[in-house]
Amino acid sequence: MSSWNSYIKDFVSFLKIERSLADNSVFAYQNDVLKLRDFAIAEKLEVKDIRYDHLNLFIKELYDLGLSARSQARIISGVKQFFHYLLLEKELESDPSELLEMPRIGRKLPEVLTIEEIDLLIATIDLSTNEGHRNKAILETLYSCGLRVTELVNLRFEEIFFDEGFIRVIGKGNKQRLVPVSPSVQKEIGIYNEGFRRHQSIKSGNESFVFLNRRGAKLTRVMIFTIIKNLAERAGIKKNISPHTFRHSFATHLLEGGANLRAIQEMLGHESITTTEIYTHLDQHFLREAIISFHPRSQE
Protein backbone atom coordinates (compact mmCIF):
# COMPACT_ATOMS: atom_id res chain seq x y z
CA MET A 1 0.00 0.00 0.00
CA SER A 2 3.02 2.26 -0.44
CA SER A 3 1.28 4.07 -3.33
CA TRP A 4 -1.01 5.80 -0.84
CA ASN A 5 1.86 7.41 1.03
CA SER A 6 3.54 8.46 -2.20
CA TYR A 7 0.41 10.06 -3.63
CA ILE A 8 -0.39 11.80 -0.34
CA LYS A 9 3.15 13.18 -0.10
CA ASP A 10 2.88 14.60 -3.63
CA PHE A 11 -0.58 16.00 -2.84
CA VAL A 12 0.78 17.83 0.20
CA SER A 13 3.60 19.31 -1.89
CA PHE A 14 1.04 20.46 -4.46
CA LEU A 15 -1.03 22.20 -1.79
CA LYS A 16 2.01 23.95 -0.35
CA ILE A 17 3.77 24.95 -3.57
CA GLU A 18 1.12 25.22 -6.27
CA ARG A 19 -1.78 26.44 -4.15
CA SER A 20 0.26 28.21 -1.44
CA LEU A 21 -2.11 27.08 1.30
CA ALA A 22 -1.43 27.85 4.94
CA ASP A 23 0.14 25.09 7.03
CA ASN A 24 -3.09 24.55 9.00
CA SER A 25 -5.09 24.05 5.81
CA VAL A 26 -2.51 21.67 4.38
CA PHE A 27 -2.51 19.66 7.62
CA ALA A 28 -6.33 19.46 7.58
CA TYR A 29 -6.42 18.20 3.98
CA GLN A 30 -3.66 15.70 4.71
CA ASN A 31 -5.47 14.43 7.80
CA ASP A 32 -8.68 13.93 5.80
CA VAL A 33 -6.93 11.88 3.13
CA LEU A 34 -5.08 9.83 5.77
CA LYS A 35 -8.44 8.75 7.15
CA LEU A 36 -9.40 7.53 3.68
CA ARG A 37 -6.02 5.80 3.38
CA ASP A 38 -6.56 3.88 6.63
CA PHE A 39 -9.99 2.77 5.42
CA ALA A 40 -8.58 1.73 2.03
CA ILE A 41 -5.66 -0.23 3.53
CA ALA A 42 -8.08 -2.17 5.72
CA GLU A 43 -10.12 -2.96 2.61
CA LYS A 44 -6.92 -3.82 0.66
CA LEU A 45 -7.56 -1.06 -1.89
CA GLU A 46 -4.89 0.89 -3.76
CA VAL A 47 -5.54 4.48 -4.79
CA LYS A 48 -6.48 3.49 -8.33
CA ASP A 49 -8.90 0.85 -7.03
CA ILE A 50 -11.13 3.38 -5.29
CA ARG A 51 -14.62 3.70 -6.71
CA TYR A 52 -17.69 5.73 -5.80
CA ASP A 53 -19.16 2.82 -3.79
CA HIS A 54 -16.00 2.58 -1.70
CA LEU A 55 -16.20 6.28 -0.86
CA ASN A 56 -19.85 5.93 0.11
CA LEU A 57 -18.93 3.13 2.51
CA PHE A 58 -16.14 5.27 3.96
CA ILE A 59 -18.59 8.14 4.58
CA LYS A 60 -21.11 5.76 6.15
CA GLU A 61 -18.47 4.68 8.63
CA LEU A 62 -17.78 8.31 9.54
CA TYR A 63 -21.50 8.74 10.16
CA ASP A 64 -21.68 5.56 12.27
CA LEU A 65 -18.92 6.93 14.48
CA GLY A 66 -21.13 9.91 15.30
CA LEU A 67 -19.05 12.51 13.45
CA SER A 68 -20.98 15.74 12.94
CA ALA A 69 -22.33 16.62 9.50
CA ARG A 70 -19.98 19.62 9.43
CA SER A 71 -16.95 17.42 10.13
CA GLN A 72 -18.10 14.90 7.54
CA ALA A 73 -18.42 17.68 4.98
CA ARG A 74 -14.90 18.88 5.71
CA ILE A 75 -13.46 15.39 5.23
CA ILE A 76 -15.39 14.89 1.99
CA SER A 77 -14.03 18.23 0.76
CA GLY A 78 -10.48 17.07 1.49
CA VAL A 79 -11.05 13.77 -0.30
CA LYS A 80 -12.51 15.57 -3.32
CA GLN A 81 -9.47 17.85 -3.47
CA PHE A 82 -7.20 14.80 -3.40
CA PHE A 83 -8.89 13.06 -6.30
CA HIS A 84 -9.16 16.31 -8.25
CA TYR A 85 -5.39 16.65 -7.90
CA LEU A 86 -4.82 13.07 -9.13
CA LEU A 87 -7.03 13.80 -12.12
CA LEU A 88 -5.03 16.94 -12.92
CA GLU A 89 -1.82 14.94 -12.73
CA LYS A 90 -3.36 12.32 -15.05
CA GLU A 91 -2.86 9.64 -12.41
CA LEU A 92 -6.56 8.78 -12.78
CA GLU A 93 -8.81 8.65 -15.81
CA SER A 94 -11.92 9.58 -13.83
CA ASP A 95 -12.73 11.10 -10.44
CA PRO A 96 -14.52 8.61 -8.12
CA SER A 97 -15.52 11.44 -5.78
CA GLU A 98 -17.23 13.54 -8.45
CA LEU A 99 -20.77 12.46 -7.52
CA LEU A 100 -20.25 12.51 -3.76
CA GLU A 101 -22.80 14.70 -2.02
CA MET A 102 -22.10 16.79 1.03
CA PRO A 103 -24.20 15.85 4.08
CA ARG A 104 -26.98 18.23 4.95
CA ILE A 105 -25.74 20.28 7.89
CA GLY A 106 -29.22 20.14 9.36
CA ARG A 107 -29.36 16.34 9.32
CA LYS A 108 -30.01 14.95 12.78
CA LEU A 109 -26.91 13.24 14.17
CA PRO A 110 -26.02 12.09 17.68
CA GLU A 111 -25.09 14.90 20.04
CA VAL A 112 -21.37 15.30 20.70
CA LEU A 113 -19.92 17.17 23.65
CA THR A 114 -16.88 19.39 23.30
CA ILE A 115 -13.91 18.75 25.54
CA GLU A 116 -14.80 21.95 27.39
CA GLU A 117 -18.36 20.75 28.00
CA ILE A 118 -17.11 17.43 29.35
CA ASP A 119 -14.72 19.25 31.68
CA LEU A 120 -17.61 21.49 32.78
CA LEU A 121 -19.83 18.49 33.55
CA ILE A 122 -17.12 16.87 35.63
CA ALA A 123 -16.33 20.13 37.42
CA THR A 124 -20.02 20.34 38.42
CA ILE A 125 -19.78 17.12 40.46
CA ASP A 126 -19.84 17.70 44.22
CA LEU A 127 -16.85 15.71 45.43
CA SER A 128 -17.77 16.29 49.08
CA THR A 129 -20.66 13.82 48.80
CA ASN A 130 -20.41 10.05 49.07
CA GLU A 131 -21.48 9.60 45.46
CA GLY A 132 -19.31 12.40 44.01
CA HIS A 133 -16.15 10.41 43.32
CA ARG A 134 -18.24 7.52 42.00
CA ASN A 135 -20.00 9.83 39.54
CA LYS A 136 -16.70 11.34 38.43
CA ALA A 137 -15.28 7.85 37.83
CA ILE A 138 -18.42 6.96 35.84
CA LEU A 139 -18.13 9.98 33.52
CA GLU A 140 -14.40 9.51 33.02
CA THR A 141 -14.93 5.83 32.17
CA LEU A 142 -17.76 6.55 29.72
CA TYR A 143 -15.75 9.23 27.94
CA SER A 144 -12.27 7.72 28.06
CA CYS A 145 -13.30 4.17 27.12
CA GLY A 146 -16.32 4.78 24.86
CA LEU A 147 -18.49 2.26 26.70
CA ARG A 148 -22.18 1.62 26.17
CA VAL A 149 -24.21 2.25 29.33
CA THR A 150 -24.97 -1.48 29.72
CA GLU A 151 -21.26 -2.26 29.44
CA LEU A 152 -20.55 0.30 32.16
CA VAL A 153 -23.07 -0.97 34.71
CA ASN A 154 -21.93 -4.57 34.13
CA LEU A 155 -18.22 -3.78 34.45
CA ARG A 156 -16.54 -6.02 37.05
CA PHE A 157 -13.21 -5.66 38.82
CA GLU A 158 -11.95 -8.93 37.36
CA GLU A 159 -12.29 -7.34 33.92
CA ILE A 160 -9.94 -4.46 34.77
CA PHE A 161 -6.24 -4.97 34.07
CA PHE A 162 -4.62 -1.73 35.16
CA ASP A 163 -1.07 -3.12 35.03
CA GLU A 164 -1.56 -3.92 31.34
CA GLY A 165 -3.61 -0.74 30.72
CA PHE A 166 -6.81 -2.44 29.48
CA ILE A 167 -10.33 -3.33 30.49
CA ARG A 168 -12.18 -6.30 29.04
CA VAL A 169 -15.63 -5.29 27.87
CA ILE A 170 -18.53 -7.69 27.33
CA GLY A 171 -20.49 -6.07 24.52
CA LYS A 172 -23.50 -6.87 22.37
CA GLY A 173 -24.01 -10.55 21.64
CA ASN A 174 -21.69 -11.38 24.56
CA LYS A 175 -18.73 -10.44 22.37
CA GLN A 176 -15.58 -9.45 24.22
CA ARG A 177 -13.13 -6.70 23.35
CA LEU A 178 -10.17 -5.06 25.03
CA VAL A 179 -10.28 -1.29 25.47
CA PRO A 180 -7.26 0.79 26.55
CA VAL A 181 -7.85 2.57 29.85
CA SER A 182 -6.24 5.96 30.43
CA PRO A 183 -4.35 7.00 33.59
CA SER A 184 -7.17 9.42 34.51
CA VAL A 185 -9.71 6.58 34.59
CA GLN A 186 -7.40 4.40 36.67
CA LYS A 187 -6.93 7.27 39.12
CA GLU A 188 -10.65 8.03 39.49
CA ILE A 189 -11.70 4.40 39.90
CA GLY A 190 -8.95 4.00 42.50
CA ILE A 191 -10.14 7.04 44.47
CA TYR A 192 -13.76 5.84 44.33
CA ASN A 193 -12.84 2.28 45.33
CA GLU A 194 -10.68 3.37 48.25
CA GLY A 195 -13.28 5.84 49.48
CA PHE A 196 -17.01 5.49 48.94
CA ARG A 197 -17.08 1.87 47.79
CA ARG A 198 -14.76 0.36 50.38
CA HIS A 199 -16.71 1.77 53.31
CA GLN A 200 -20.20 0.74 52.23
CA SER A 201 -22.13 -2.44 52.86
CA ILE A 202 -22.32 -4.39 49.60
CA LYS A 203 -25.29 -6.63 48.84
CA SER A 204 -24.57 -10.31 48.25
CA GLY A 205 -23.93 -11.04 44.59
CA ASN A 206 -22.82 -7.48 43.81
CA GLU A 207 -19.29 -7.65 45.22
CA SER A 208 -17.49 -7.71 41.88
CA PHE A 209 -19.40 -4.91 40.15
CA VAL A 210 -17.38 -1.70 39.95
CA PHE A 211 -20.15 0.88 40.22
CA LEU A 212 -22.69 0.53 43.04
CA ASN A 213 -25.56 2.61 44.40
CA ARG A 214 -25.75 3.81 48.00
CA ARG A 215 -27.49 0.56 49.01
CA GLY A 216 -24.56 -1.53 47.77
CA ALA A 217 -26.25 -2.89 44.62
CA LYS A 218 -25.24 -2.62 40.97
CA LEU A 219 -26.28 0.66 39.37
CA THR A 220 -29.07 0.53 36.79
CA ARG A 221 -28.99 2.04 33.30
CA VAL A 222 -31.76 4.44 34.36
CA MET A 223 -29.65 5.70 37.27
CA ILE A 224 -26.75 6.50 34.93
CA PHE A 225 -29.12 8.47 32.69
CA THR A 226 -30.43 10.35 35.74
CA ILE A 227 -26.93 11.20 37.01
CA ILE A 228 -25.94 12.65 33.62
CA LYS A 229 -29.21 14.56 33.12
CA ASN A 230 -28.89 16.16 36.56
CA LEU A 231 -25.25 17.15 35.99
CA ALA A 232 -26.07 18.62 32.57
CA GLU A 233 -28.86 20.71 34.09
CA ARG A 234 -26.60 21.99 36.86
CA ALA A 235 -23.83 22.76 34.34
CA GLY A 236 -26.25 24.70 32.12
CA ILE A 237 -25.64 22.44 29.11
CA LYS A 238 -28.72 22.58 26.85
CA LYS A 239 -27.83 19.67 24.58
CA ASN A 240 -29.99 16.57 24.85
CA ILE A 241 -27.32 14.27 26.23
CA SER A 242 -27.28 10.71 27.54
CA PRO A 243 -24.61 8.13 28.44
CA HIS A 244 -24.32 7.36 24.71
CA THR A 245 -23.30 10.97 24.10
CA PHE A 246 -19.99 10.24 25.83
CA ARG A 247 -19.46 7.28 23.50
CA HIS A 248 -20.00 9.46 20.44
CA SER A 249 -17.74 12.14 21.92
CA PHE A 250 -15.04 9.52 22.55
CA ALA A 251 -15.09 8.44 18.89
CA THR A 252 -15.36 11.95 17.47
CA HIS A 253 -12.49 13.39 19.51
CA LEU A 254 -10.22 10.47 18.66
CA LEU A 255 -11.06 10.67 14.96
CA GLU A 256 -10.68 14.43 14.75
CA GLY A 257 -7.39 14.12 16.62
CA GLY A 258 -6.04 11.86 13.88
CA ALA A 259 -6.60 8.36 15.29
CA ASN A 260 -6.94 5.38 12.96
CA LEU A 261 -10.55 4.81 11.89
CA ARG A 262 -10.29 1.03 12.24
CA ALA A 263 -8.78 1.23 15.71
CA ILE A 264 -11.71 3.38 16.86
CA GLN A 265 -14.22 0.90 15.44
CA GLU A 266 -12.46 -1.90 17.28
CA MET A 267 -12.48 -0.02 20.57
CA LEU A 268 -16.19 0.76 20.15
CA GLY A 269 -17.02 -2.84 19.31
CA HIS A 270 -19.03 -1.83 16.24
CA GLU A 271 -20.72 -4.69 14.40
CA SER A 272 -20.19 -4.90 10.64
CA ILE A 273 -18.80 -7.25 8.03
CA THR A 274 -15.46 -5.48 8.04
CA THR A 275 -14.96 -4.84 11.76
CA THR A 276 -15.52 -8.45 12.84
CA GLU A 277 -12.67 -9.54 10.57
CA ILE A 278 -10.45 -6.71 11.78
CA TYR A 279 -10.95 -7.87 15.39
CA THR A 280 -8.74 -10.90 14.99
CA HIS A 281 -5.92 -8.98 13.30
CA LEU A 282 -5.52 -5.71 15.18
CA ASP A 283 -2.58 -5.66 17.54
CA GLN A 284 -3.67 -4.74 21.09
CA HIS A 285 -0.48 -2.74 21.67
CA PHE A 286 -1.38 -0.63 18.65
CA LEU A 287 -4.86 0.05 20.08
CA ARG A 288 -3.35 1.24 23.35
CA GLU A 289 -0.91 3.50 21.50
CA ALA A 290 -3.80 4.96 19.49
CA ILE A 291 -5.82 6.00 22.52
CA ILE A 292 -2.80 7.23 24.46
CA SER A 293 -1.71 9.34 21.48
CA PHE A 294 -5.03 10.82 20.43
CA HIS A 295 -7.56 10.87 23.29
CA PRO A 296 -7.72 14.22 25.17
CA ARG A 297 -7.80 12.51 28.59
CA SER A 298 -4.44 10.86 27.87
CA GLN A 299 -2.65 14.18 27.42
CA GLU A 300 -2.64 15.08 31.11
Residue 247 is a catalytic residue: yes
Q: Which of 35, 177, 270, 295 is catalytic?
A: 270
Q: Which of 80, 133, 134, 148 is catalytic?
A: 148
Residue 221 is a catalytic residue: no
Q: Which of 107, 234, 279, 285 is catalytic?
A: 279
Q: Which of 134, 177, 218, 247 is catalytic?
A: 247
Residue 187 is a catalytic residue: no
Question: How large is the C-alpha radius of gyration of the chain?
Answer: 21
- What per-residue string of b and e applies to 5-40 under the rule 16 or more CB within 10 Å gives b? eebbeebbebbeeeeebeeeebebbbbbbbbbbbbb
Distance CA 134, CA 216 (A): 12
Distance CA 182, CA 167 (A): 10
**Distance spanning both ends of the chain, measured CA to CA:** 35
Q: Which of 48, 51, 107, 172 is catalytic?
A: 172
Residue 133 is a catalytic residue: no
Give me the residues paired with residue 209 across strands: 156
Residue 270 is a catalytic residue: yes
Residue 192 is a catalytic residue: no
Distance CA 226, CA 242 (A): 9
SS3 119: helix
Catalytic residues: 148, 172, 244, 247, 270, 279
